[in-house]
Amino acid sequence: MSRLIEIQNLKKYFKTGRGMVHAVDDVSFSIEQGRTMGIVGESGCGKSTLGRMLVHLEESTGGQIIFNDEDVTQLGKNDMKKFREHAQIIFQDPYSSLDPRYTVEDSIKESLLISGKYNRTQALEKTQDLMELVGIAPRLRLSYPHELDGGRRQRVGIARALALDPEFIVCDEPVSALDVSIQAQILNLLKKLQQEHNLTYMFITHDLSVVKHISDDICVMYLGQLVETCSSHELFEKQFHPYTKALLSAIPSVDIRHKMNRIVLKGEITSPIDPKPGCRFAARCSYACEKCHQPQKLEEISPNHFVSCCRAKEING
């Protein structure tokens, strides 16, 4: 397996009237071709900002994004245009990302025509192929977004993302706005497309049962930082970071072996504005001590399982 995307010390800070928001702070990980990296963490931890940087909808403040061995943050205008064809995004709410004045056909055809790679006839043919690929009936080609249900709208969003044959897709909460029955259909469609087209996904969600179903590997984020990462299978078996333990303890489990006592977090959430060095979870962590106020490093605690907690070994025996 080869590495498709690697991010190194990636940062995004937003300047605000009250100070600098550290939305993504020194995050590093990589994704192998054809695999899905799940990104989990509570609201405001920087998931969407990270996703937007990886498809260059947002400029990074620092760090590197290596895509197919090239640093995307250093690309010129023409190479950036090419990169943006290879890296696409699917949004949570296709209703707001689709133009209400465009029919299904126009929405999908648009990016094909803008790319300059297809003439009108070819773009129309490819649009029809894409509709079939994502399961939109031909009779819906002239429908407008408001005439479609949520599932079909998301299928249009997926067809648009696939139009230029990308290698990498950021899926930013793509099923959170859908009914549970439709969620499964869209997740299965994404999996099928991944297998057929060897796609690499970064899948952002706050829903742990969704991430368990779809991801090969998982990154757990807390207030802009990566606190734990390993394979999905391993994370649901054994967590080392106190925040990951609390996050996973909230999932209802029918399997008695994996039943965890719910850990209710107490204490103030640290502000993302000009945070102090040290563990950002310390204010809510029952294991916090003096050492936690010093900068923490992501360390390999077992093969391919990385944790950013100076007490991880001690508290896990």
Ligand X SMILES: Nc1ncnc2c1ncn2[C@@H]1O[C@H](COP(=O)(O)OP(=O)(O)OP(=O)(O)O)[C@@H](O)[C@H]1O
- Residue among 46 and 242 whose Cβ is closer to ligand X: 46
- Per CB under 6 A, the list member of 5, 25, 47, 111 interacting with ligand X is 47
DSSP 3-state percent helix, strand, coil across the chain (nearest 5): 40, 25, 35
CB of residue 219 to ligand X, shortest distance in Å: 12
Choose between 48 and 88: whose C-beta lies nearer to ligand X. 48
Both tokens of 250, joined, read: 């909230």
Are 106 and 79 a contacting pair, CB within 8 Å? no
Stretch that binds ligand X, among 39-47, 62-70, 275-283, 303-311 (CB under 6 A): 39-47
Cβ proximity to ligand X: between 47 and 280 the closer is: 47
- 134 near ligand X, rule: CB under 6 A: no
Residues 193-252 that bind ligand X (CB under 6 A): 206
Q: Within 13 Å of residue 204, how many CA atoms lie on the same side as its CB? A: 23
Among 36, 48, 73, 225, binds ligand X (CB under 6 A): 48
Binding segment for ligand X among 38-46, 76-84, 136-144, 242-250 (CB under 6 A)?
38-46
Q: Which residues pair with 307 in a beta bridge?
A: 228, 299
Report the C-alpha gap between 217 and 230 in whole angstroms: 6
Q: Per CB under 6 A, does 43 bind ligand X?
A: yes
Locus of tokens 């897709």? 169
Name the burial class of residue 17, with classes exposed (0-12), middle (13-18) and buried (19+) by CB atoms within 10 angstroms of its CB.
Answer: exposed
β-strands 168-172, 200-204: how paired? parallel
Under a CB-based contact definition with an 8 Å cutoff, are residues 276 and 224 in contact?
A: no
63: left (phi over 0), alpha (psi -120 to 50) or beta: left
Among 19, 44, 62, 135, binds ligand X (CB under 6 A): 44
Residue number with CB closer to ligand X (45 or 288): 45
Among residues 5, 7, 10, 23, the one that binds ligand X under rule CB under 6 A = 23
Q: Examine residue 109 and tell whether it contacts ligand X (CB under 6 A).
A: no
Specify the amino acid at residue 243.
Answer: Y
Distance between CA atoms of residues 122 and 218, nearest Å:
39
Residue 51 vs 151, nearer CB to ligand X: 51
Q: How far is the CB of 45 from ligand X (least distance, A)?
A: 4
Min dist. Cβ of residue 206 to ligand X (A) = 6
Report if residue 38 touches ligand X, rule: CB under 6 A: no
Number of H helices, E strands in the chain: 11, 12
- 56 or 152: CB nearest ligand X: 56
Q: Which of 46, 94, 166, 242 binds ligand X (CB under 6 A)?
A: 46
Q: Applying CB under 6 A, does 21 fall inside the site for ligand X?
A: yes
Pick out residues in 272-291 that bind ligand X (CB under 6 A): 272
If 0-12 CB within 10 Å is exposed, 13-18 middle and 19+ buried, where does residue 43 land? exposed
Q: How many other β-carbons are positioned within 10 Å of the β-carbon of residue 197? A: 15
Q: Report the run of H or E that residue 114 belongs to, with start and end.
A: helix 104-115
- Which member of 16, 74, 96, 209 binds ligand X (CB under 6 A)? 16
Beta carbon of residue 41, minimum distance to ligand X (angstroms, whole number):
6
Angstrom distances, CA of residue 132 to CA of 107, 156, 158, 161, 167: 15, 11, 12, 14, 20
| Contacting positions for ligand X (CB under 6 A) | 14, 16, 21, 23, 41, 43-49, 206, 272
